[in-house]
């Protein structure tokens, strides 16, 4: 059978409808991100039960609240370069298994030390899973819908965190706090089986690393049958390529270093706000006079607001994404500040917490799409993973920040005034990135991207 000339992989994806095969990849990645949100936030929702059952102080919770975040950071930093070298699929499946087993084991912890260790291991798996899910989804998306689809996928994180809150409010009184961790561990193990069966390797990764043309043809044929007639495949990059550099060398190259640092700073500051709020809001609201049940339900509204990222993704595909997300962070600072002044009015508190969650999680959920579009394929896995990994230290800082503020006897209003400041910093960082971002150029990467018989 005669073969057609070389097929440009991204042009092929752009020309075909986003079909069932890509929706299956989306669904699997969405569930991974949802479980990431559930398992990451679970510790905050069970924290009041830990204080009661183990008779520990609030500051003593800081290590266990931040243990998974340390693991998330190191898992992402290690997994990014490995995914650019070894592939997205194998690391994604392995990471899901790791965080599933560790979360399930943490349900049987007998003391704070054991729980802290297992939460760190859970974090390693979570940290590796998130960037690989973002990267592999990005590389199967058409250019015109990439930000929308990645933001929609990333909505799984705040939805998972919010779902965890509502489930915790029901499960903990009925079955105890350990049941939340059991659920968070068993579900990923079931998902790993599906991933082994159905998840493909990124076709852009295969082209960039000169994999077998038959494997690339087989994958692309599930998007469009015409790929079966291709004699070879090439790849064009919209992001500015740096000759001879890939992985961390590309991310830290002269062309990308300022933008990379601004992405890291932005994500860091966003997670200061997110984890300071999600880990401590149930405790702070309870101490402000709300019942434990009501404090948990209101706190769960904060991550639920992440569904606004879908609209933001649509805007990012049409307008300047840096400025859109910067505006979301600026408004986040305003609404987080207002939480501190609304605790005396339950109705107003509900509205403000939800509004802050919409803005905060919309901005934060949009960052992976921004990073994925910023880097070329040779550095995309590392670029996305390092932003997520370094940014996770912001979650650690947020957890310890509130612990220290309570130790210093800050008022409820004072705590949220301090937590609002990182939103302003994140806004400024994205405006700086916009000012120095390399110009996009469509570059054909025949030297590494051509695969033929």
Mean pLDDT, each 10-residue run in order, the chain (453 residues)? 66 83 91 84 77 76 77 83 78 91 88 87 88 84 81 79 78 83 89 90 76 79 78 66 64 83 92 82 73 73 67 77 90 88 79 85 83 78 83 81 80 83 92 75 40 37
CB atoms within 10 A of CB 452: 12
Confidence at residue 161, expressed as pLDDT on a 0 to 100 scale = 76
Confidence at residue 105, expressed as pLDDT on a 0 to 100 scale = 92
Which tokens is 445 given? 């990467």
CB atoms within 10 A of CB 3: 15
Which tokens is 341 given? 């002044």
CATH number for domain 7-452, candidates 3.30.930.10, 1.20.1250.20, 2.40.10.10, 3.40.50.300: 1.20.1250.20
60 CB-near residues (< 8 Å, 6+ apart)? 112
CB distance 64 to 42 below 8 Å: no
CB distance 415 to 283 below 8 Å: no
Which tokens is 137 given? 């989804």
Confidence at residue 326, expressed as pLDDT on a 0 to 100 scale = 92
Confidence at residue 195, expressed as pLDDT on a 0 to 100 scale = 92
CB distance 205 to 91 below 8 Å: no
Confidence at residue 109, expressed as pLDDT on a 0 to 100 scale = 83
Which tokens is 387 given? 């932003």
What's the whole-model pTM score? 0.73
Confidence at residue 447, expressed as pLDDT on a 0 to 100 scale = 37
Confidence at residue 240, expressed as pLDDT on a 0 to 100 scale = 56
Confidence at residue 446, expressed as pLDDT on a 0 to 100 scale = 42
Which tokens is 427 given? 């806004």
Strand 232-234 and strand 7-8: the pairing is parallel
Confidence at residue 135, expressed as pLDDT on a 0 to 100 scale = 83
CA geometry: angle 52, 158, 341, nearest 5 deg: 65
Confidence at residue 305, expressed as pLDDT on a 0 to 100 scale = 58
């Amino acid at each position: 059978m005669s073969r057609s000339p070389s097929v440009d992989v991204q042009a092929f994806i752009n020309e075909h409808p986003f079909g069932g095969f890509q929706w299956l990849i989306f669904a699997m990645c969405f569930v991974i991100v949802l479980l990431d949100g559930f398992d990451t936030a679970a510790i905050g929702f069970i924290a009041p039960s830990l204080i009661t059952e183990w008779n520990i102080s609030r500051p003593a919770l800081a290590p266990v609240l931040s243990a998974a975040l340390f693991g998330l950071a190191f898992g992402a930093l290690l997994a990014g370069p490995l995914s650019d070298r070894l592939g997205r699929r194998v690391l994604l499946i392995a990471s899901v298994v790791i965080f599933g087993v560790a979360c399930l084991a943490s349900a049987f912890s007998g003391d704070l030390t054991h729980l802290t260790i297992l939460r760190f291991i859970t974090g390693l798996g979570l940290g590796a899973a998130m960037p690989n899910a973002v990267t592999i989804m990005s590389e199967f998306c058409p250019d015109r819908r990439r930000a929308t689809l990645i933001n929609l996928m990333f909505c799984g994180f705040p939805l998972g965190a919010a779902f965890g809150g509502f489930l915790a409010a029901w499960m903990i009184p009925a079955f105890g706090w350990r049941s939340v961790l059991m659920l968070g561990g068993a579900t990923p193990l079931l998902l790993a089986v599906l991933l082994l069966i159905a998840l493909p390797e990124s076709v852009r990764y295969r082209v960039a690393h000169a994999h077998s043309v038959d494997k690339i043809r087989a994958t692309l044929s599930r998007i469009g049958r015409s790929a079966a007639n291709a004699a070879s495949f090439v790849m064009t990059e919209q992001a500015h390529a740096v000759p001879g550099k890939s992985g961390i060398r590309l991310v830290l190259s002269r062309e990308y270093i300022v933008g990379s640092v601004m992405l890291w700073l932005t994500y860091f500051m966003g997670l200061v706000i997110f984890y300071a709020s999600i880990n401590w809001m149930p405790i702070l609201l309870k101490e402000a006079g709300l019942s434990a049940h009501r404090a948990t339900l209101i706190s769960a509204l904060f991550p639920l607001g992440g569904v606004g990222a879908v609209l933001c993704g649509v805007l990012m595909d049409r307008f300047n994404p840096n400025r859109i997300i910067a505006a979301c962070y600026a408004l986040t600072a305003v609404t987080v500040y207002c939480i501190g002044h609304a605790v005396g009015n339950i109705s107003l508190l509900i509205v403000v917490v939800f509004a802050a969650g919409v803005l905060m999680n919309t901005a934060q959920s949009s960052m992976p799409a921004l990073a994925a579009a910023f880097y070329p394929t040779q550095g995309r896995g590392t670029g996305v993973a390092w932003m997520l990994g370094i940014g996770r230290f912001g979650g650690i800082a947020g957890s310890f920040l509130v612990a220290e503020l309570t130790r210093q006897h800050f008022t409820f209003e004072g705590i949220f005034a301090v937590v609002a400041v990182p939103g302003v910093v994140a806004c400024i960082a994205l405006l700086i990135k916009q000012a120095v971002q390399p110009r996009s150029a469509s570059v054909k990467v025949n030297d590494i991207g051509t695969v033929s018989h």
